[in-house]
Structure 1
């Protein structure tokens, strides 16, 4: 038989659906915090990759699939000497054009506003095509200051002379919503920012039916923190012996885990964990729930690192001419964006019947970024160089120069208050979960993403 649906929850209602979990993909889920490239948690059940088609032969039952489009990072060398101001002007034009296209709506429309560069750029571009007081934006605020960006969002809205609305969430409100939101996913999903994204979608849906989002800005223009570590990593690998690296990592792991958002100890520990593996897989290992050594320790039939991260390795092999930083941008755009960020936004908004439109994924902006040389994305330690250049005059300098915070929640601290969840995970060595909970609660180890992955896995329909 052959069956298809837009979500797994629909597909699982088919009487012919085999509810057999795939142990290899379960390990991949804990290694990535999501499943890359068309995989699911079930055997003989696959997702259609982005930009793809599939044709079923009704007589033979055979299927043929292919891609009609794929992002390809192909820097244009002729642009190396391009004038910054001319490129910035072109990007401003493209942003206004992309927002204008997405402002076409016969229902109420608004903008997600975090106070970061991407959503602020969209708000300012909207001010060039619509009456500013009529433009509505929506922000989620947190009482925990290291996670809250509502004050920055308010500053941007005041500068743009638009109408911003904020909903502040308490820790208890968010904790009470976790199990319900995870259960609506119909499959495990390990990005904890799903929770505030769902709350933002619910808040916006009370007022509008369509919302513009800044998804894709970090991937296309180079906004993620790990990009700062690419060059230091290359130097570190060149001079640091493997045995000495192991000692350095053990010492750094003794640092107590901070509960602050993107704390120094967290970044340092993650950086060192990735440096224990080949460069092709250091990024997914930096971001993993369990690194390959832990997969080997916790599972009775563990996959090796090359198998766990075969998708990242294949991506590097298909792009041999790119620099280390360009390979990282390629990873974020080809793997992280479609399998994590866009899945999160789509599921969170659809939970509340809200349509979201990603401005930065406009065809013309994407083509502009495909050809853009590295130096216009990352220059002298400055991320999103050309985007910030384009926003000069649109936004005050202190907004443009603020560090990236991300849409996080106080996950580390919350997990210490949650009960020990031990779902039956195929192949997991008994006692592994209890050990991680114990070490995490005593601050002897940082297992926040693995423990969160377990929360998500536990919500998988029986």
Structure 2
């Protein structure tokens, strides 16, 4: 673990404000506003299904091995499973779902979907989501805490060398309806690009806190203008507002969190990853789709085309309506393990002693959270815990990757 001689200040500030690091290498192309200009299309449903099936066929057509799919029970993973089964009717498929303690249980519905498409279903039960955080961070080499994919790939490794996912459906086909609705309600016609960025950030309130400027100490001087300038190109162009959000979303967590982090986890466990929705052909096609085929702002419905393709294989009521995609309830996690772990590690934090994070901020809000947990501050403390664990692994080198929390 000797590869870190110094801490990248911009990286830390990005992760603790946006929950992604735009300074790192991307594994997908970074897109520009011109990539999201609408183009006329014919038979989009046929093209989507054909392209996904062609990707699957190229990977598994003659395969006699097992394949694993990450199955949350939502539109994207259910669609991929249905097309995987249609394309490869004799393929041996295992489906993995995650059940977090004291969180919405999506595994029951996922099990029904797995049975519908003749896949053997497995549920990973995670009681302490943070327990193996040192191991996960040692693999990705960045201070992120939301690493459910580590558990998914770890389980997949025991079943197969290939893992299929529905990643990319939200970003390419308009799945973040809550964000679109809020953003469009916040902006006005005469908003400047910076004002649009500020509105966009208000749609990501769980990633930052109201007193974000007071969090950082002298080694990580924080300015909102830095964040605004990073995001400004996505809103300083000729696209309509909804398409600007599509552009910002694609170049956000998908590009600089999930894809690079998942790639490192796959490599560590020796698992081949297949994400049919993120094929070059489908990215090029989906980004130029007419916006009304992604999001209906009157009905507040997204992923319109994916829903229509999926309707050929399952009924609407089969899909879990409150699907969150392997999400842990952070308030309940805080009450069961998070507070105790943050109190222990941050009361004598290296990131405070070394001048990265302010002691007074941590002390003040930790005391408040003991009495009244606020999801935004809970998420921030989990981010600080990850930063502290990362620091002890790579900088002070006093922790080992096999150490566990709690």
TM-score of the superposition, structure 2-length normalised? 0.82
Answer whether contact 1:188 1:456 (CA < 8 A) is retained: yes
* 1:48-447 alignment runs, 5 A limit: 48-50=25-27, 73-79=35-41, 86-103=43-60, 108-131=66-89, 134-144=92-102, 146-160=103-117, 162-172=118-128, 174-190=129-145, 192=146, 194=147, 196-224=148-176, 225-234=178-187, 278-284=195-201, 286-287=204-205, 289-291=207-209, 293-296=211-214, 298-300=216-218, 302-317=221-236, 320-379=237-296, 380-400=299-319, 402-416=321-335, 417=337, 418-419=340-341, 420=343, 421-422=345-346, 423-425=349-351, 426-443=355-372, 445-446=374-375, 447=377
Q: How far apart in 2 are the matches of 1:297 and 1:187?
A: 19
Q: Secondary structure at the match of 1:184?
A: helix
Answer whether contact 1:119 1:213 (CA < 8 A) is retained: yes
Q: How far apart in 1 are the matches of 2:33 and 2:98?
A: 31
Bigger relative contact order, structure 1 or 2 (CA pairs below 8 A, ≥6 apart): 2
Residues 35 and 309 of structure 1: CA distance in aligned 2, closer, same or farther (over 3 Å): farther
RMSD: 2.9
Q: What does the per-residue CA deviation read over 1:259-293, in whole Å, with 9 as the maximum and x for residues that have no partner?
A: xxxxxxxxxxxxxxxxxx82224334525543474
Q: Secondary structure at the match of 2:235?
A: helix
Equivalenced residue count is 373
Q: How far apart in 2 are the matches of 1:408 and 1:215?
A: 14
TM-score of the superposition, structure 1-length normalised? 0.73
Query: Which consecutive residues of structure 1, in runs of 5 or more, have no partner in the other structure?
Result: 1-8, 40-46, 53-66, 239-276
